[in-house]
Structure 1
């Protein structure tokens, strides 16, 4: 079982990472701006299902290996911290790409197609993949039980946060299409601030203990 303190720390880190607009959020915002709330929510559900793929991969493929090697656990931590800092820098440099979500204007797609597209976006989101593979494991406690089960628990927490965050973004975008359209720079500002927050999380990860 994941210690409560570890679960709380992971939830806080996951919240910072997830709420920052990335591929999943941009996809949901684009759907909301182009097709409304329903299309956005369906797309969010598809993306969340896709994000479960790397969670399962971490639980099945890394649990036993990391449980047996403190060195590998440290390597994973360092890689995760480095990637988060890199991700934060890139978010600041590429914040203008958030405005691309405003350009979605294709015809209303079928529900199955929206779910499929959302699944692909979620499963191939590099931020999600690296977060689960390189950041999630450090919040587990080897002494508290089987790591695969802990990874699944932490992954479920992250997926719940992702659903709430992406749904909120989608609902806001669907409700305030005109507000977003008047000033894409508002999204750019969010991206820049988010980049600084991600860098802060990465630095915290690098300076934290292995447990």
Structure 2
């Protein structure tokens, strides 16, 4: 793969990644809910989920998935249902955080947050659709192995996404801190986070193979 092609891909990918999408809003919701560390861990989890799609796309599994309407529908609705579940769980949380000392409880373990974030991204077929639609534009079979080129582009994309998502996580965490300290603000936090998850779930449910 030529160096100029790689740079063109980096510029194009960076422009797309900077624009907030469902994954970014998910990460921001986590940061607002539990702080910067949780947001950064969510970003890492999402990147792992994205890496799974990259690997799947490289070996052709994603292509098979996208040709099966049944498989697409199953994965799509499972992912959407999980997001809506997280949203409802947050909205109807009975935790009462009246004082600043209690604003950190209850806190989800970072390992669980990482697992949930990775699962949400793995179960998002739209990510696979995007990779399959975007990456081939920069791949040339005459240059070398298509699989190797796909993996290279995927690695670059995921790396850029981690950096950008991490910055969004830090930004959202700073917003979350300003909302802490009162019963009213904690309720607002739960509502913002919960509605974020539910909206993402609804969008995922209406994803179609023709969209990227």
Classify the TM-score, shorter chain. 0.5 to 0.7
Q: CA RMSD in A?
A: 2.7
Higher helix share: 1
User: Which residue of 1 is the match for residue 17 of structure 2?
Assistant: 18
**Larger Cα-atom Rg:** 2
> Unaligned regions of 5+ residues in structure 1, if any?
66-100, 185-211
Compute the TM-score of the two structures, normalised by the length of structure 2: 0.60
Compute the TM-score of the two structures, normalised by the length of structure 1: 0.61
> Unaligned regions of 5+ residues in structure 2, if any?
64-86, 94-105, 180-184, 193-212
User: Which residue of 2 is the match for residue 190 of structure 1?
Assistant: none
User: Which residue of 2 is the match for residue 173 of structure 1?
Assistant: 172
CA offsets per residue over residues 127-153 of structure 1, 9 Å max, x none? 422221111112112221111000000
Instruction: State the shift of 1:23 in Å.
Output: 2.0
User: Which residue of 2 is the match for residue 151 of structure 1?
Assistant: 150
CA offsets per residue over residues 99-153 of structure 1, 9 Å max, x none? xx9xx67642112210111101222334422221111112112221111000000
Say whether the 8 Å CA contact 1:58–1:132 is kept in structure 2.
Answer: yes
User: Which residue of 1 is the match for residue 39 of structure 2?
Assistant: 40
User: Which residue of 2 is the match for residue 133 of structure 1?
Assistant: 132
Instruction: State the shift of 1:176 in Å.
Output: 2.9
Residues 1:30 and 2:16 aligned together: no
Mapped partners of 2:36, 2:169: distance in 1: 7
SS at match of 2:20: coil
Mapped partners of 2:15, 2:120: distance in 1: 20
Mapped partners of 2:18, 2:109: distance in 1: 27
Say whether the 8 Å CA contact 2:57–2:128 is kept in structure 1.
Answer: no
Query: How many residues align structurally?
Result: 143
Mapped partners of 2:4, 2:173: distance in 1: 36
After TM superposition, where is structure 1 displaced by more than 2 Å over at least 4 residues in a row?
A: 104-107, 124-128, 176-179
